[in-house]
Amino acid sequence: MKQVFALLSGLIFGLGLIISGMSDPAKVLNFLDVFGTWDPSLAFVMGGAIAVTAPGFALLRRKRATPFYDTKFRIPDRSDIDPKLMTGSGIFGVGWGLGGFCPGPALTALPIAATGTLIFVPFMLIGMWFAQRTPDPFSTLKTGEA
């Protein structure tokens, strides 16, 4: 049953991306082009997602001690900013700015063969695979070894 809800959630998310136009990399790139043909619609999509999701999470956590399909809620609670986070965010941002896709819309645009998707998605998957198998270059900063 957990997989059915995961599939339904993914389908609803993908449908929302298609309806809002976020599977079109030109729309995303226009959002990033602040001094040119700026398109603020991505900010409205993000704001709408937050407006719908935040009250749902708050209500769910207030009404239930545990989630439906797990032993506890797994909401991130870290608030520190470390070099690994900054580096990963920077790489993600550069990839997003160059390709016009982030992972969700890229996978959503794959079946409709949007321009660049057939190149972007394989390289995104290679990057994810590589990141999982590469040692953390900042691990010496955490342990104090230099």
Domain containing 40: what range?
2-143
31 within 8 A of 101, measured Cβ to Cβ:
no
105 within 8 A of 28, measured Cβ to Cβ:
yes
75 within 8 A of 57, measured Cβ to Cβ:
yes
In tens digits, the chain (146 residues) has pLDDT values of 778 988 898 888 888 888 888 778 788 788 888 898 888 988 898 898 899 888 987 887 777 777 777 787 777 777 888 888 888 889 888 888 887 788 888 888 888 777 688 888 888 899 889 888 888 777 766 555 55
- Please name which of 42, 26, 30, 32 lies closest in space to residue 115, comparing C-alpha atoms: 26
Cα 125 from Cα 109, distance rounded (Å): 15
- Helix, coil or strand: residue 144: coil
For the chain, the domain total comes to: 1
Cα 62 from Cα 73, distance rounded (Å): 12
